[in-house]
């Protein structure tokens, strides 16, 4: 594995373990490639609204057909687009509790209702009960993250197929923002289920949150129909260019995903030894947990320069950082345990 691809983020920025970003910045090698590519950019021109080169490069990496993909300004734009296209006043979006907060945001924007299926404490849920509850309430669209944000729980493809098949007349959107950290994906199944949409992002495993690049994958007919709702030029030329450079390094990124997964296991094993909190297994680049001391812990970590994500119900989510950051975080949690007794 090349050691040069990434270097650790400047620690002056603090130990930011709250937004599920990668802990490393891009390598000097990639930075140089980007600078060279920028030299050819025609700044006075509008960007390629079709994102032709970007989609071509992505399809080579993901083994998809170009007609199956639409690129957006982050997957956020595409999730909003899907909700705007298929929902409206009086319609119902069906999702999980907990799940990604932007689903509520977009549903609110289009005056749609949101129905939530409550998962178990560790994020797991019965697919049969999920289907039954959705049918009973005659929902108009399904959108869920898999792996789930914030719990890290992931359903297998076999279980997701049951959901896609149970609601053939409504769009079923599987948000795979953390797909690279999980072994399975529904990306390749979009020709089997005409109602299936899968979203992906370069913000997480590719460490390009600043560039805002996401994709929606579905059959070509659905993608053609979706294009009508998308504002032109939403993906700027610089982001398209940087994303193409990054995707050409896809194999090296895979090695860093493996490091994050190893770190996730180490951190999980370390945290589960602590008695004041409970943590759950995760298929993403973060660990979800609960503790009666959650709010105190969050303040304590903050005072020591570590930011994690907190939720109202005594739960929290910790992004997997670099080995050094994770060690520091674990040492702080151990010290906190001694303090609270
Ligand atoms: N889906 C989920 C589940 C997420 O956690 C996030 C980012 N927090 C997104 C989508 C949005 O990602 P992007 O940066 O591509 O807009």
CB 62 within 8 A of CB 187: yes
- Does the Cβ of 180 fall within 6 Å of ligand 1? no
Note whether 12 and 49 are same-domain residues. Answer: no
The band of 185, judged by pLDDT with boundaries at 50, 70 and 90, is very high
Mean pLDDT of 150-162: 98
Structure tokens given for 72: 């957006």
- Does the Cβ of 33 fall within 6 Å of ligand 1? no
**334 CA to middle of ligand 1, Å?**
31
- What span, in angstroms and rounded, lies between the C-alpha atoms of 305 and 247? 33
Of the three residues 247, 264, 285, the one that is the final residue of a domain is 247
Q: What is the pTM of this model?
A: 0.96
Cis omega before residue 150 (within 30°)?
yes
The CATH number covering residue 302 comes to 3.90.1150.10
The band of 13, judged by pLDDT with boundaries at 50, 70 and 90, is low
Note whether 62 and 197 are same-domain residues. Answer: yes
Which atom, in ligand 1's list, is nearest to the CA of 209?
Answer: 14
In a domain, 35, yes or no: no
- What span, in angstroms and rounded, lies between the C-alpha atoms of 245 and 53? 11
Structure tokens given for 176: 């795979």
In a domain, 147, yes or no: yes
Residue 183's CB is within 10 A of a number of other CB atoms, namely: 10
- Does the Cβ of 209 fall within 6 Å of ligand 1? yes
Per-residue confidence (pLDDT) for residue 341, from 0 to 100: 66
In a domain, 36, yes or no: no
Residue 5 has pLDDT above 70, yes or no: no
Per-residue confidence (pLDDT) for residue 112, from 0 to 100: 97
Residue 8 has pLDDT above 90, yes or no: no
In a domain, 14, yes or no: yes
Q: How many domains does the chain have?
A: 2
Burial pattern 20-30, b for ≥16 Cβ within 10 A else e, equals: bbbbbebbeeb
Mean pLDDT of 305-332: 96
The residue nearest atom 4 of ligand 1, judged by CA position, is: 177
**319 CA to middle of ligand 1, Å?**
14
Note whether 201 and 261 are same-domain residues. Answer: no
The band of 135, judged by pLDDT with boundaries at 50, 70 and 90, is very high
- Does the Cβ of 177 fall within 6 Å of ligand 1? yes
Which atom, in ligand 1's list, is nearest to the CA of 76?
Answer: 16
- Angle between the 157-166 and 127-136 helix axes, to the nearest 10 degrees? 20
Residue ranges making up the domain that contains 62: 42-247
In a domain, 37, yes or no: no
CB 235 within 8 A of CB 47: yes
The band of 14, judged by pLDDT with boundaries at 50, 70 and 90, is confident
Mean pLDDT of 80-100: 97
Which atom, in ligand 1's list, is nearest to the CA of 145?
Answer: 3
The band of 317, judged by pLDDT with boundaries at 50, 70 and 90, is very high
In 152-274, DSSP assigns E strands to: 172-175, 196-201, 213-217
Note whether 222 and 266 are same-domain residues. Answer: no
The band of 124, judged by pLDDT with boundaries at 50, 70 and 90, is very high
Mean pLDDT of 212-216: 98
């Amino acid at each position: 594995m090349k050691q040069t691809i990434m270097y650790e983020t400047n620690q002056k920025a603090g130990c930011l373990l709250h937004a599920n970003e990668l802990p490393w910045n891009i390598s000097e090698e990639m930075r140089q490639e980007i600078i060279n590519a920028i030299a050819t950019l025609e700044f006075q021109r509008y960007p390629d609204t079709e994102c032709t080169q970007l989609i071509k490069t992505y399809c080579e990496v993901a083994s998809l057909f170009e007609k199956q993909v639409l690129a957006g300004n982050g997957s956020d734009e595409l999730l909003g687009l899907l909700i705007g296209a298929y929902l409206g006043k009086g319609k119902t979006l069906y999702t999980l509790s907990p799940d990604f907060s932007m689903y509520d945001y977009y549903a609110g924007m289009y005056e749609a209702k949101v129905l939530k299926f409550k998962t178990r404490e560790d994020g797991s849920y019965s697919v049969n009960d999920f289907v039954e509850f959705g049918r009973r309430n005659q929902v108009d669209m399904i959108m869920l993250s898999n792996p789930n944000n914030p719990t890290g729980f992931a359903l297998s493809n076999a279980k997701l197929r049951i959901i896609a098949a149970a609601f053939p007349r409504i769009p079923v959107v599987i948000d795979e923002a953390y797909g690279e950290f999980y072994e399975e994906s529904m990306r390749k199944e979009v020709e089997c289920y005409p109602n299936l949409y899968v979203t992906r992002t370069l913000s997480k495993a590719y460490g390009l949150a600043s560039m805002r690049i996401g994709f929606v994958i579905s059959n070509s007919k659905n993608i053609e129909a979706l294009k009508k709702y998308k504002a032109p030029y939403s993906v700027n030329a610089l982001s398209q260019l940087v994303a193409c450079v990054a995707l050409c390094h896809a194999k090296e990124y895979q090695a860093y995903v493996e490091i994050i997964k190893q770190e996730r296991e180490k951190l999980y094993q370390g945290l589960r030894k602590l008695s004041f909190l409970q943590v759950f297994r995760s298929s993403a680049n973060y660990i979800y947990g609960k503790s009666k001391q959650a709010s105190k812990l969050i303040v304590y970590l903050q005072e020591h320069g570590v930011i994690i994500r907190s939720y109202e119900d005594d739960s929290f989510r910790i992004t997997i950082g670099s080995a050094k950051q994770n060690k520091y975080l674990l040492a702080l949690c151990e010290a906190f345990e001694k303090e609270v007794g």
